[in-house]
Amino acid sequence: MDVLFLGREGIPLYQTLLASETARAALRFYHPVEVPYGVIVRMASLGSALSLVSELRWYMRRYVRTVLFEIGSEIYCTLALATEVYYGRQIRLHSPWPYRFLYVIKDRAFAGVVPLDPESDPEHCRIDDRDADRVYEVWRSESEEPTVDERSAEHTLSDDDTV
């Protein structure tokens, strides 16, 4: 399972994380990979991925736009949904998932969110290849909104959150 940390615009996330002794210690066994718009970390399980995100909470609030968890081939989910699945254990993910959106990356940075109807096929959405470097299909929880504030993540970690 991959965990994708999407950095805020203008922040070299990979260098920022490795410059910190605390973040380096948390990431030392995972060999993070730098991508133009953030960092990818390969994890063994959802539980270990949530634990890593919790360890990196301080960096999440300051330097990360959002974190996405790969739950299937080319399918990611939000932190809120990953938390509900892992801790609640009442949600059973199934395809097609009714609460989805596309996360668009252009010019090595976040470019926008495209909400999807429950019946729509992400393959047939009108996103011109010239308008995006990469598009992620993201599943969200029912309570989450499919839009993203330009400066914050879908689910911003607060000091009270336990992941």
Q: Which two tokens stand for residue 26?
A: 């948390």
| 94 has pLDDT over 90 | no
| 157 has pLDDT over 70 | no
> Which strands form 75-77's sheet, in the order they lie side by side?
33-35, 38-42, 2-7, 64-72, 75-77, 134-139, 100-106, 109-116
Top-ranked range on mean pLDDT: pick from 47-56, 66-75, 104-113, 126-135: 47-56
pLDDT in the model for residue 158: 38
Cα→Cα distances 158→63, 137, 140, 144, 155, Å: 14, 25, 19, 16, 9
Residue pLDDT, tens place only, 113-153: 888 776 666 565 555 555 677 888 898 988 887 554 433 33
Which uninterrupted H or E stretch holds 72?
A: strand 64-72
In this structure, are residues 1 and 77 in contact, taking their beta carbons and an 8 Å threshold?
A: no
Q: Give the burial string for 64-77 (b: 16+ CB within 10 Å, else e).
A: bbbbbbbbeeebbb
In this structure, are residues 20 and 14 in contact, taking their beta carbons and an 8 Å threshold?
A: no
- Among residues 4, 36, 3, the alpha carbon closest in space to that of 109 is found at 36
Q: What average pLDDT score do residues 73-81 get?
A: 91
Q: At 43, is the pLDDT very low, low, confident or very high (cuts 50, 70, 90)?
A: very high
Enumerate the domain spans of the chain.
Answer: 2-139
pLDDT in the model for residue 121: 62
Total-model pTM: 0.82
